[in-house]
Amino acid sequence: MTTRTQVAIIGAGPSGLLLGQLLHKAGIDTVILERQTADYVRGRIRAGILEQVTVDLLKEAGVGERVQREGIVHHSIELVFAGTRHPIDVHGLTGGKVVTAYGQTELTRDLMDARQGLGLPTVYEAADVSVHDFDADKPMVRYRKDGVEHTVQCDFVAGCDGFHGVSRATVKDRITEFERVYPFGWLGVLADVPPASPHAIVYGNSDRGFSLCSMRSLTRSRYYVQCPLDDKVEDWSDKRFWDELRLRLDPGLAGKVITGPSIEKSIAPLRSFVAEPMRFGRLFLAGDAAHIVPPTGAKGLNLAATDVKYLSGAFIEHYRDRSAAGIDTYSQRALRRIWKAERFSWWLTNLMHRFPDTQGFGQRVQEAELDYLVHSRAASTALAENYVGLPL
């Protein structure tokens, strides 16, 4: 079967769904092709800190209502090191900017519900998606569904299919990859208990390793501890996790950690990755398809959102103004912001974790930098302005 659309979007993660929503608002037709089932996409658990730019974009896309109502605004973050907690007044240091705690799971649900409510086409369980003729004027995407072959003819293809997707793989000979892998993982636990620190995300550096206190709501907490990459989730009973978390925090905060049964527990590796460029004729990459950051600093979802902002703007300029300017500059504009977030996430990861191969010198430098950071207004401001998100 052959269908036609203006923009074929591969992947129904946050990037693909948000792009579809913004294009719909501008009167542009899309079809989304997703490999997984809708339930699988809805159930994924990931980070949950939104920059103001991301919240504004959700509003612009018509899906900002629940995040504004239920998202929890944070004015500060805290750093724990040497057994002491240090607040960083992000709001004050950035002239009034904040971040919002709102789970990616909730955001995905809002976007899926909106798309479904509008009756826009999304094909779940689309198998063997492949992209063709994107160097010519009339690209197409092929896939198989329930054993039947389909072709989508389109003007543009948006590769929003994540790190393991087909879009980047299709152009792998034309890409330069930049990568750094880190010698540890994050063990994350989700639990229906009130957060120990409801007003600020806490990043902890201790001689036992990194820890993070975050939240999804006033009754649901998200915590992480740095762990060896070869650890298995089964090695970590709930009790072991809670004990370890407390040992990595300052005594005051450790005393506030309320424990309960985990409702999700997983280990994720940490990686920095960028693929350049992000445009190949009429095929564009956006979000995790083009770049990955380690979760320290929560930039992954926010970067995906700004890629989509640039890309939707480029398509709108093409159709509305008959201008190729946005399309021609997409890759360059997106990469400029991406590399700043890559730098920040890499820096914060280096600052807050124990590296197995760090010698005494590296350790002392890390301690000195943390001390400098919390006592220098200039250094705290640099952290704060990156944390809330750099200007577009």
Interface residues with ligand APR (CB under 6 A) are: 10-16, 33-36, 41, 46-47, 104, 126, 129, 160-162, 164-166, 287-289, 300-301, 304
Whether the CB-CB separation of 201 and 214 falls below 8 Å is answered with: yes
Residue 298: contacted member of ligand PHB, ligand APR, none (CB under 5 to 8 Å, by partner type): ligand PHB
Residue 13: contacted member of ligand APR, ligand PHB, none (CB under 5 to 8 Å, by partner type): ligand APR
Q: How far is the first Cα of the chain from the last one, in angstroms, to the nearest whole number? A: 41
User: Least distance to ligand PHB from the beta carbon of 212, Å?
Assistant: 6
Maximum CA extent, the chain: 64
Residue 160: contacted member of ligand APR, ligand PHB, none (CB under 5 to 8 Å, by partner type): ligand APR
Residue 129: contacted member of ligand PHB, ligand APR, none (CB under 5 to 8 Å, by partner type): ligand APR
Residues linked to residue 291 through DSSP beta bridges, in sequence order? 274
Whether the CB-CB separation of 341 and 298 falls below 8 Å is answered with: no
User: Least distance to ligand APR from the beta carbon of 371, Å?
Assistant: 31
User: Least distance to ligand APR from the beta carbon of 74, Å?
Assistant: 18
User: Could you confirm whether 319 is annotated as catalytic?
Assistant: no
Residue 207, classed as helix, strand or coil, is: coil
Indicate whether 16 belongs to the interface with ligand PHB (CB under 6 A): no
What is the rounded distance in angstroms from the CA atom of residue 117 to the CA atom of residue 247? Answer: 47
Residue 335: contacted member of ligand APR, ligand PHB, none (CB under 5 to 8 Å, by partner type): none
User: Could you confirm whether 74 is annotated as catalytic?
Assistant: yes
Q: Which of 90, 86, 67, 66 is nearest to 78 (CA)?
A: 86
Nearer to ligand PHB, 48 or 165 (CB): 48
User: Could you confirm whether 203 is annotated as catalytic?
Assistant: yes
User: Least distance to ligand PHB from the beta carbon of 49, Å?
Assistant: 5
Whether the CB-CB separation of 277 and 334 falls below 8 Å is answered with: no
User: What string marks each residue from 278 to 307 as x (binds ligand PHB by CB under 6 A) or -?
Assistant: -----------------xxxx---------
- Residue at shortest CB range from ligand PHB: 214
What is residue 259's DSSP assignment?
A: P
Please report, to the nearest 10 degrees, the dihedral formed by the alpha carbons of residues 104, 108, 110, 113 taken in order: -160
Size of the site for ligand PHB (CB under 6 A): 11
Q: Which of 61, 29, 57 is nearest to 153 (CA)?
A: 29
- Please give the residues from 195 up to 234 whose contact with ligand PHB meets the rule CB under 6 A: 201, 212, 214, 222
The tokens 């092709």 sit on which residue?
A: 33
Q: What does the chain come to in residues? A: 392
* CA dihedral (194, 200, 205, 211) positive or negative: positive
What is the rounded distance in angstroms from the CA atom of residue 114 to the CA atom of residue 94? Answer: 33
User: Could you confirm whether 97 is annotated as catalytic?
Assistant: no
User: Could you confirm whether 261 is annotated as catalytic?
Assistant: no
Nearer to ligand PHB, 193 or 201 (CB): 201
User: Least distance to ligand APR from the beta carbon of 33, Å?
Assistant: 5
* CA dihedral (244, 249, 254, 259) positive or negative: negative
Which residue in 24, 150, 299, 318 is the catalytic one?
299
For 42, 151, 249, the CA distances from 104, given in Å and listed in that order, are 10, 31, 26
Which residues are part of the catalytic machinery?
Answer: 74, 203, 295, 299, 387
Task: State the residues that interact with ligand PHB by CB under 6 A.
Answer: 47-49, 201, 212, 214, 222, 295-298
